[in-house]
Structure 1
Amino acid sequence: MNKRCPMYCCVMMSALLLLLTTIAYTQPTPSQPTTYDVGRVRVRAEPNRYAEVVTTLEPATPLTVIGKSSGGLWLNITLDEARSGWVAIELITHNLDLAALAVTYDQGANFAGETLPPRIAEHVLRIYERGQALGKRPGIFSKIGDSITVAPQMYTPLGDGRYYLGDYEYLQNALDYFSVTPAGDATHNQANAFLNPSLAAGIGWTSAALYDVDFADPERCLPDETPLVCEYRVLQPSVALIMIGTNDLAWQSADGYQSNLDGILAYSIEQGVIPVVSTLPYREGYADEWALFNQAIIASADKFAVPLWDYAAALDPLVNFGLDTDGVHPSIPPMGTDGAADFHDYNLPYGYVMRNLTALQQLDLVWRVIAMQPL
């Protein structure tokens, strides 16, 4: 695997952890201190990539494992009497009995307490109110993207009931809200927004395709109408989930890509559509470009004060960064589409499962603002 951006990950390392005591179910008993042989890794205050960095482990740092996160992707450790924190489990080679480790952090319950930052929430509400004045439909969202968006594993199981929320049961209200309204019209798809085929997403698409009339559906789009303009006119959504750029990595500069993305965000806001913009999953062979593109996405989200869907950060601790063997697309769970929205702990390491989960989490954050729902 090529080098990765320090913004999203720590330096990979090989290590050995030995579990010498049994972890009790109700009150975790710490394991004996173990030692890293090589490498460096950040220890965070909570099990997520946004949490404060407590310290960085140097080679041969002894630590004690006292538990795990509910998702099973982070280890709760202590370094000494004064320092404790969390490390991503996939950064460590270990022989721990993970099933025996006590859950010391319920990620579902803690994410349920998150909200959009005030500056973003205020802008989201203004965009929504503008959209309502322009006739945009509550409960409807557009999907903007490429093959990762149109894949049957993405969104489909959320729309047709093939999902298991488990620890993320708090997402049910947002899922219901965005599932009720038929997204199509009298002559086209009558399914909800999760199932509705997008007019602004396609296999192999780049950000430039959204500006190109040749990519528009000739049956549903007006002459000289681009895919993005057509999608918003036909669907009249209140929200757009946007992830485009994986195919740009091979030919587009980061500046050129950001210019295209800025245009997409600006047009969305003008139309009263709340854009939720996603970072890109890693792509083998394009480590440097990938890092620059995600920096551009983060900068654009901040510049336009819109929600950032940090999919890349969610994939960061997963095996092979949540990618399939092709090094481009997210990995598919053993049950395929049937399991792509199954949020059991054992299923979360798969890229499409994590994308469905984080998409639903973003919709929940937006829903709490536009429906004015308290925590």
Structure 2
Amino acid sequence: MIKKIGLLCLLILLYGLLGLVMTTAQGAISGVTGSSVLNVRELPDRSSARLTQFPPRTQVIVEARNEVGDWLLVSAPALSLRGWVAIGYVTFDREVRVMEELPVSSERVIDPAAQGTTGSPGEAPPVVIIPDRTDYPPVYLTNAVWRNVRNIWARGRQMGNDPWVLMKVGESNTAGTVYLCNFEWQAYSLGNYTHLQGIVDGFSRTGSFCRVNASAQNGFATVNVLDPQFAPSDICQPNESPLVCEVRRSRPSFAFIYIGLADTGILTTREFNANLTQIVQYLSRNGVIPILQTWPTADTFNGNNRPQLFNEEIRAVAARQNVPLLDFRSALYNYANHGTGSDGYHLSVRDETRSELTGDELIYGRTYREWQSLQILYDLMSAFN
């Protein structure tokens, strides 16, 4: 009898040690958020205060769950933020038995302004928020830029690129039908900007205002633009990145590039700069004029300084590569919510079904962006022809 009890105790001990070894081998539980911005809350409840928002596809470490298991306490090391998110918006990096592997917590997370690291709340000093510079010109077109774009334009003519075709590189502010499509659909008014009519007519004829772009998809970061696995198989060839695919199939002369928020959750500023430079250089070599665009965010996004720093990298790439820049972050700073809608990132608009340049461009971020996009096309085409 004593031997049986001893054997039973030994088996229990071995089972416990095996569980400990398995847990240690598995390591920290991590995952990635979805393709849209995600609300981060102080408690596991939709009615609790929103602390901040994670950009699309933010890498997170999962620390705990609530008692029911429908909320996760996560930290985003790259953003120095933590908080509660609904479990349905996180994809784990491995199979996770949520109720068994995650400890239960009911922690109230402090405001991001007091979060310096992903460690215990209150241990680190508050983050010093970098103020946005608002004195940048809305359009960056120096003499050096003009010389470079003339060379790119000439290269494009030699390569057979269509002067009336443009392409788009970006995420949900650019993908689909949210950007410039109304001009192709005749759902617009130019107001006092009648000089832009020729630009609208010319690019509408080629269908490039609203064509499907492999290089502009919801949730895209620069890494996706350069990665063949994200190229749509129905329009791209094997081993083509979305960028290479779109240049080949469209043969454009211009490329509007509005990208970076998703990168803030997965890349360093140096990595982002390198990727953006690679995109700009590829376009330039292939006779496509890259037109970079900075992107505004509401104050709820800016507490970790990532949007400010990444937009500075966009400006740096424009200056180093001598390509045009539309600085929306600076130009829209004094607009309501810095030119963004209720989610703090997608550009604001009065009526999604129409683009009215009759005053809306002075109030809404999306309309301002479309106005300035048409204007820079006008300036460039006027200089080339």
TM-score (norm 1): 0.64
User: Please, which runs of 5 or more residues in structure 1 have no aligned partner?
Assistant: 10-48, 52-113, 183-191
Greater helix share, 1 or 2? Answer: 2
Q: For residue 376 of structure 2, give the secondary structure of its aligned residue in structure 1.
A: helix
In structure 1, C-alpha distance between the alignment counterparts of 2:346 and 2:279, rounded to whole Å: 23
Q: Size of the alignment, in residue pairs?
A: 257
In structure 2, C-alpha distance between the alignment counterparts of 1:347 and 1:233, rounded to whole Å: 33
Alpha carbons of 1:161 and 1:234: their partners in 2 closer, same or farther (altered >3 Å)? same
Q: Which residue of 1 aligns with 2:370?
A: 356
In structure 2, C-alpha distance between the alignment counterparts of 1:316 and 1:272, rounded to whole Å: 33
| 1:240 aligns to 2:366 (yes or no) | no
Cα distance, 1:131 vs structure 2: 1.1
Tell me which of 207, 213, 216 is aligned to 2:228. 213
Structure 1 segment 1-375 matched on structure 2, within 5 A = 5-8=131-134, 50=137, 116-180=141-205, 182=206, 192-283=207-298, 284-287=300-303, 288-333=305-350, 335-338=351-354, 341-346=355-360, 348-371=362-385
Q: For residue 174 of structure 2, give the secondary structure of its aligned residue in structure 1.
A: helix
In structure 1, C-alpha distance between the alignment counterparts of 2:228 and 2:361, rounded to whole Å: 39
CA contact (8 A) 2:225 2:241 kept: yes
Cα distance, 1:150 vs structure 2: 1.4
Alpha carbons of 1:115 and 1:325: their partners in 2 closer, same or farther (altered >3 Å)? closer
Q: Deviations over 1:232-290 (max 9, x none)?
A: 00000011111111211223211111110000001011111100010122253345111
- Which structure has the bigger radius of gyration? 2
Q: Deviations over 1:60-96 (max 9, x none)?
A: xxxxxxxxxxxxxxxxxxxxxxxxxxxxxxxxxxxxx
Q: Deviations over 1:31-81 (max 9, x none)?
A: xxxxxxxxxxxxxxxxxx539xxxxxxxxxxxxxxxxxxxxxxxxxxxxxx
User: Please, which runs of 5 or more residues in structure 2 have no aligned partner?
Assistant: 1-51, 53-112, 114-128
Cα distance, 1:151 vs structure 2: 4.5
CA contact (8 A) 1:153 1:337 kept: no
Q: For residue 240 of structure 1, give the secondary structure of its aligned residue in structure 2.
A: strand
Q: For residue 291 of structure 2, give the secondary structure of its aligned residue in structure 1.
A: strand
CA contact (8 A) 2:190 2:356 kept: yes
CA contact (8 A) 2:177 2:210 kept: no
Q: Which runs of 4+ in 1 moved over 6 A?
A: none
Cα distance, 1:327 vs structure 2: 1.2
In structure 2, C-alpha distance between the alignment counterparts of 1:169 and 1:8, rounded to whole Å: 29
Q: For residue 374 of structure 2, give the secondary structure of its aligned residue in structure 1.
A: helix
Cα distance, 1:132 vs structure 2: 1.2
In structure 1, C-alpha distance between the alignment counterparts of 2:360 and 2:312, rounded to whole Å: 31
In structure 2, C-alpha distance between the alignment counterparts of 1:167 and 1:318, rounded to whole Å: 21
